[in-house]
Amino acid sequence: MYPPTPNPPYPVSGQGVVHGPVPRFDPTLEGWAGQWAGTAVLGPTDGDGEGCEPAARRPLRLGDPGLVQAALSAGLPEAERSRALQLLGLSPRTDVRAVAVVVCEPGLLQRALDGCAERLGGRESAPTTAHAAVLWPTVGAVLLPGSAAVPRQAEPGPAHTAMGVGPATGPQQLPDSWAQARRAARFAGLGPTWPRAVVAEDLGALALLADFPASTALAHPDVGAVARLGCGPDGEQALATLEAVCRSSSLREAAKILCLHHSAVAHRIRRIERILRVSLSDAHGRQRVQTALLLWQLNAPGNWRDERGSSQHGGPHSF
């Protein structure tokens, strides 16, 4: 279980509050790190926030990142994960969903986690502080009841925020739900037709594209052609047009997505076809280009949704 601590175990009240430090799990280590959480995470203030104790002096709630991270970790022994689940108050008979929340800048994560809990769980059934935590500066996790409603349509959502919703599983299978949630978050908000909250089950076989090694994907000639299109004049506009055309059933539908007249979209398509040397008027050509576009979007340099290979935080899949 936990390593020896210099002090006796800290009591846990009936309200799920730890009256002392909570061990924080370090993703770069195989077990619990010898560090202690010093502030509460994702917790609403008492009342209107006036006259409350500073966060560092309030008793820590069981939303400590160490417990949430341990519950999501496939690399920990089952006994340690079971202990974390127990401290989080998760019943082994109740399904739970893991939600990955990724932002482009650390300063946006706290608000994004609050918004995710409210949007996906609803105000009354939103997760408490015990079920949400900041795991890295730009990555957080929310644990939703398995019965919580999840988005099935494109929603505006907060800008520069990507949410991936994993499948409902038993608490012991949370690592798998988390892995699928992180994969789904990589698709969120990729372009004009992608919602900022993506449900893993809705991706189907498209999710497999996220597992392609970046070096392999970027080395393919079709992906390279799309990359050159995006880096050329009006490249962002061209990629948005390409995505809208590939993911629409008609030219007029693509024009509606882009808020353009269909003749303007047709002009853009002719230019794109000349550069890519692929016809978008037939199904095979569109499928080929759409696959290359997705592989480029998922692996493009600077894509803040993907932290694979991050040495600073051990990478989002390191635990």
Give the model confidence (pLDDT) of 102-137 as tens digits. Answer: 999 999 998 888 888 777 655 444 444 347 889 999
CA 206 to chain CA mean position, Å: 16
**43-77 as b/e, with b when 16 or more CB fall inside 10 Å?**
beeeeeeeeeeeeeeeebbbbbbbbbbbbbbeebe
Higher per-residue pLDDT: 274 or 152: 274
Percent of the chain with pLDDT over 70: 70
**130-148 as b/e, with b when 16 or more CB fall inside 10 Å?**
bbbbbbbebbbbbbbbeeb
Instruction: Note the pLDDT of residue 50.
Output: 40
Instruction: Note the pLDDT of residue 125.
Output: 44
pLDDT over 90 at 265, yes or no: yes
Identify which of 219, 217, 224 has the alpha carbon closest to the alpha carbon of residue 275.
Answer: 224
Stretch 236-247: mean pLDDT: 93
Q: Which amino acid is at 206?
A: L
- pLDDT band of residue 149 (cuts 50, 70, 90) is confident
Higher per-residue pLDDT: 7 or 166: 166
- pLDDT band of residue 217 (cuts 50, 70, 90) is very high
Instruction: Note the pLDDT of residue 99.
Output: 93
